[in-house]
Amino acid sequence: AQGQVFYRVATEDGLVEIGSADLPPPPHPLKTGQPQFHEGEYVGQAVRVGSYARELNPPLAGQSEPQRVVIQVAETLEARNDFRRSLVLQSLARDVLLMLAATGLLALAIAWAMRPLDQIRQEVDARDPQDLTPMDDTGAPAEIRPLVQAINHHIERNREQTEARRRFIDDASHQLRTPLATLATQVAYAQRETDPAQQRNVLDNIRHQLDETIRQTNQMLSLARADSAPAQRQPFDAVALAEALMRQWWALARDQGVDLGLDAPDSPITLQGEPDLLREALSNRLHTAIRHGGAGCQVTLVVRGEPADRVQLTVVDNGPGLPPAELTRAGERFFRGSGVSQPGSGLGLAIVRTVAQRHGGQMRVNGGPEGRGLAVTLDLPGSPSAESNQG
């Protein structure tokens, strides 16, 4: 829509004038050839006025001096305001449509980019709870592959923990079924027995069987803890640990007639590991060597830190030992040598091997001195400060 238009054409002296004579004059003097715009009011309406001055060439008849003619055109602001409003609305509508289109395209792009994640979600949802096999990351984009690898790492950790729990249940059922059945039989026999001397004999057997069952249970708990407990490593002195073990087992060794000794340097040897687990592993080995060695046996705990980045903890005894053909099987769960006569679980060396592997080391089993007994070594990585401690 167009607004009302008014005009005025006049000479500067006002002798010649046509159009609307009372249009608002320009606020500043006009310069020839330069238009000037301003807003004002005419017949009660707001108008915008454009003014322009130019020379008359030739001048009007009878005039010898140069003359200028002033041209003014005014328009009401209704059309201009309508146009401005329409322009704003059109721009807003265009921007809204562009935003909607961009949002739609962005949503499609995100949905397309998230397809691999959705496929992973569907694969995880569809998995059997017992399925702990790694996920295939072959077709995954490079950006998603680290996520799949992290999930596989988590699955592997869960699989290891599940396997450790399964082994513990299998071990417990394997080891405890026979002792518990024996205890039940002995208790039933004691209940039927009327002779006090026989009852005491049966009770002594029950007590012995209970002690052995408790020891086997503790060994299985130690093995399960070494298999699955979260690592809590800290620096500690291997020599101080060995000295504490000597104090712990000295009384039993004396009662059994075993010569228990320690061969360790005077200076500390620092290890970065789990001292409680290492104490349990070495305690199992020392206990076995003392129990099976018999009177007159020598059992020695040797601590070495050579080379500087390794630490060796060795339990050496000159007891019955193992035949050379069976040394390679040492460390298998429930394996007991053919020459062993005393009861046992066959878990002692399995605990030592598991603890060594947990610390990034290894267990070595060799024959003892002069071909008798065993030398069981935990060869472990040393602490970074071990070299300075030995220097």
Integer Cα distance of 193 and 332 in angstroms: 41
389: pLDDT strictly greater than 60: no
Q: What angle do CA 217, 336, 349 make, to 5 degrees?
A: 65
Among residues 246, 238, 249, 254, the alpha carbon closest in space to that of 379 is found at 238
Q: Please name the fold of domain 234-390.
A: Heat Shock Protein 90 (3.30.565)
Burial of 289 (0-12, 13-18, 19+ CB in 10 A): buried
Please report, rounded to a whole number, the percentage of residues in the chain having pLDDT higher than 70: 86
178: pLDDT strictly greater than 70: no
CB atoms near residue 341 (< 10 Å): 7
CB atoms near residue 174 (< 10 Å): 13
Integer Cα distance of 180 and 359 in angstroms: 34
Integer Cα distance of 389 and 368 in angstroms: 30
Q: Say if residues 16 and 62 touch (Cβ distance below 8 Å).
A: no
Residues 225-253, mean pLDDT to the nearest whole number:
84
Q: Using 50, 70 and 90 to split pLDDT, how confident is the model at 121? A: confident
Q: Tell me if residue 190 falls in helix, strand or coil.
A: helix
Dihedral sign for Cα 185, 191, 193, 197, please. positive
211: pLDDT strictly greater than 50: yes
Q: Where are the domains of the chain?
A: 5-76, 114-230, 234-390
CB atoms near residue 88 (< 10 Å): 10
Min mean pLDDT across 41-50, 189-198, 281-290 is at 189-198
* Residue with token string 């609305």: 89
Compute CA distances 23 → 4, 13, 33, 47, whole Å.
Answer: 13, 16, 20, 10
DSSP code, position 31: B
The model carries a pTM of: 0.50
Residue 298, pLDDT score: 92
pLDDT digits (tens, 9 = 90+) for 18-63: 999 899 999 999 999 999 999 999 988 899 999 999 988 777 766 6
Write down the H helix ranges in 54-144.
78-113, 115-126
387: pLDDT strictly greater than 60: no
The whole-angstrom distance between residue 49's C-alpha and the CA centroid of its chain comes to 74
Residues 99-125, mean pLDDT to the nearest whole number:
88
Dihedral sign for Cα 179, 181, 184, 188, please. negative
pLDDT digits (tens, 9 = 90+) for 127-173: 887 788 888 777 777 778 888 888 888 888 888 777 777 776 776 66
Residues 252-281, mean pLDDT to the nearest whole number:
90
Among residues 387, 245, 247, 240, the alpha carbon closest in space to that of 311 is found at 387
Residue 339, pLDDT score: 55
Among residues 357, 359, 356, 358, the alpha carbon closest in space to that of 377 is found at 356
345: pLDDT strictly greater than 90: no
DSSP code, position 34: B
Residue 191, pLDDT score: 84
